[in-house]
């Protein structure tokens, strides 16, 4: 993990965000990810996209 953090510091341009620490993902499934410290995260963009796809897959009901 220390190597990943060092690579982040060496190669990622953060501008004004020097105080933001990188998140090192340990495992992921679907729109959720867990970091090496056990904290869970939700990929909101993927979750919203998935919801939109499910809504689009529903047949439209015609009203007469």
Angle at 21 between CA 15 and CA 26, to 5 degrees: 135
Query: Shortest CA distance to 22 belongs to which of 32, 34, 12, 33?
Result: 12
Secondary structure element (H or E) that encloses residue 53, with its range: helix 44-57
pLDDT > 90? residue 12: no
Query: Which are the contacts of 30, defined by CB distance < 8 A and separation ≥ 6?
Result: 46, 50
Q: How does pLDDT run across 47-60, given as a tens digit for each residue?
A: 666 667 666 656 66
Q: How does pLDDT run across 15-34, given as a tens digit for each residue?
A: 766 566 778 889 988 778 89
Token code pair at residue 10 = 């060496």
């Amino acid at each position: 993990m220390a190597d990943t953090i060092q690579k982040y510091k060496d190669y990622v341009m953060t501008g004004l965000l020097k105080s933001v620490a990188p998140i090192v993902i340990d495992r992921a499934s679907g729109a959720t990810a867990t970091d090496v410290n056990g904290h869970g995260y939700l990929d909101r963009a993927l979750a919203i996209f998935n919801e939109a796809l499910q809504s689009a897959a529903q047949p439209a009901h015609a009203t007469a």
